[in-house]
A and B are shown apart, each in its own frame.
Chain A
Amino acid sequence: MAAALFIALATIASEESSAFKGFLTSTFGHHWIGKGVLALLVFGLVYLIQKNRVSTGKVDMLALMWRVSIVFIASGALIFGFFLWDLLAR
């Protein structure tokens, strides 16, 4: 969920801020690669922190599924909505 939100926010930030896009491009060779690598890092970090909670059954799986679905759908919708707004605003 953190990775999904990161991707959505980093996508919008890189379109709105040429400095951020330039940082991703200069660091990773391409802004898209930068977002992917940073999302992997965010996911790995949160996964390691949350791993034990899931494995010991402390998480309500159905509630987790709804949270995951809502966050991923919202992230996708945010990305699509941003580019639609950008297209219509031109």
Chain B
Amino acid sequence: MPDPLIGVHAFLGEMAVFAFFWVFVELFNPSPARVARLQKIAAVGVALLFLSWIVGGFYYVSTYGSAVKPIILKGPDPWAHSLFTETKEHVFLLLPFLGIVMWSMLRYAGDSILKDARARKAVQGVALLIVLIGLSMAGMGYLISTGARAALEAGVGI
């Protein structure tokens, strides 16, 4: 059975993506009440990113490096680790900072967002970037799991 921390990490990350997608969509028609709500949603999104960071990081440091990485590297798809785990573990570090930038833009420029379409589009742009990077994290997670599964199917580690 896969480590449950992988599922928790993915769940938290996907919920964060949903939170920022919510911000992106609802800002098409902003109102004072909506902006106030979105400031809370963005804060929840940032918290989810940090939680996913901590859970994923704990799994990576405590389990992945010693139990999964060697299997993938000996399997038929070592690039799953060499390229995608290495990229994912470092690009993921960027996401909480991007989340804080977006939350801060919403929080400190709330009035501008209501009056100025440029400011609204700016916040939407950062929210969309978080969603796209978040989805790429899920895609890389799939490729890493595929690498581990292919190695196990090839008899590595058994």
Contacts and interface: CB of A to CB of B under 8 A. Distances in A.
B61 A30 contact: yes
Contacts, number: 96
Interface string B86-105: 11011101100110110011
A84 B122 contact: no
B18 interface: no
A11 B57 CA distance: 15
A83 B83 contact: yes
B125 interface: yes
A72 B121 CA distance: 18
Contacts of B94: 3-4, 7, 72, 75-76
Interface residues of B, number: 33
A49 interface: no
B125 A80 contact: no
Nearest to B136: A76
Given A61-B123, A87-B83, A69 B61 contact: no
B93 A7 contact: yes
Contact of B125 (A32, A51, A65, A84): A65
What range describes how many residues of A lie at the interface? 35 or more
Contacts of B61: 29-30, 32-33
Given A54-B109, A61-B122, A62-B125, 9 more contacts: A7-B90, A32-B57, A39-B93, A57-B112, A61-B119, A65-B105, A72-B129, A76-B87, A79-B90
Considering the complex of A and B, which 7 residue pairs feature the smallest CB-CB distances, nearest first? A65-B122, A61-B122, A61-B119, A62-B118, A55-B108, A65-B125, A62-B122
22 contacts: A32-B57, A33-B57, A36-B57, A61-B105, A61-B109, A61-B112, A62-B119, A62-B122, A62-B125, A64-B105, A65-B121, A65-B125, A66-B125, A69-B125, A69-B129, A72-B94, A75-B91, A76-B91, A79-B91, A80-B83, A83-B83, A87-B79
Interface of B: 53, 57, 60-61, 79, 82-83, 86-87, 89-91, 93-94, 97-98, 100-101, 104-105, 108-109, 112, 116, 118-119, 121-123, 125-126, 129, 133
Interface of A: 3-4, 7-8, 11, 29-30, 32-33, 35-36, 39, 43, 47, 51, 54-55, 57, 60-62, 64-66, 68-69, 72-73, 75-76, 79-80, 83-84, 86-87
